[in-house]
Structure 1
Amino acid sequence: MREKLQEIEELVKKLQQNAPEETKNFFNFLKSVEKDGAVSAKNKELINIALAVAAQCEWCIAFHTKNALKLGANKEEIIEAAMQAVLMHGGPALMYMTPLFKAIEEFSNE
């Protein structure tokens, strides 16, 4: 999953070179919606994990799992959030629990 994070970094660098204004605007939006508000930043990351599993995005799973763990989420909370995606999205989301477990294992000790 660290490889996925590295791929995100490489993509962001390319986007900053090729679409700097759009990339800046996207990350400003990301920062504004992921901060604490009526819903805590931790809970927003748990929501993002569920959405990442449902969207079948391994890069998103790696990114948001690492962030959720940094914000104090534990393994049980992350899995429970991801299971909401399975409930709503079915078998394909269940299979994306595989990279989710990899991300939890890799980033839990940081």
Structure 2
Amino acid sequence: MEDWNEYNAALREQGKVFAAAAPEAMKGFQALSRGASTTQHLDAKTREMIALAVAVTTRCQGCIDAHARKARAAGATKEEVAEALGVAIALNAGAALTYSLHVMEALEKAGT
């Protein structure tokens, strides 16, 4: 398991290195992040639970770190986050099933 405080500190340090090497790319990412976090219809807690579910499905440790912190700050409980993660688990299984069906179709077509 990760030491998330150590991971966060290391990630921030590497972020500074990247920002110095590619400042426009970092500015673009920050603008996108600001735009996505400025919501009118979702509260912060809901947004962060969605972000955590997406972070799991995209396997982004940095996103997990950032959005777990933000979810806690927004008042999300462990049980609420676990329920949101259950949705991510189900969708990952659904995606695996859907792509398995594509494999079966490709396999069938390859034999013709």
TM-score in terms of structure 1 length = 0.74
Q: Does 1:30 align with 2:33?
A: yes
Pairs within 5 Å for 1:1-16: 1-16=4-19
Task: Write the distance in 1 (CA, Å) between the matches of 2:60 and 2:19.
Answer: 21
Structure 1 stretches (4+) deviating beyond 3 angstroms? none
Q: Tell me the number of residue pairs that the alignment of Structure 1 and Structure 2 aligns.
A: 90
Paired amino acid for 2:14: L
Aligned match for 2:79, one of 76, 82, 85: 76
Percent identity (aligned): 31
TM-score in terms of structure 2 length = 0.73
Q: Looking at CA atoms only, which structure, 1 or 2, has the larger radius of gyration?
A: 2
Q: Which runs of 5+ in 2 are unaligned?
A: 94-112
Aligned-residue RMSD, C-alpha: 1.3
Task: Write the distance in 2 (CA, Å) between the matches of 1:85 and 1:39.
Answer: 19
The structure whose RCO (Cα within 8 Å, separation 6+) is larger is 1
Contact 1:50 1:85 in 2 (8 A): yes
Q: Does 1:18 align with 2:17?
A: no
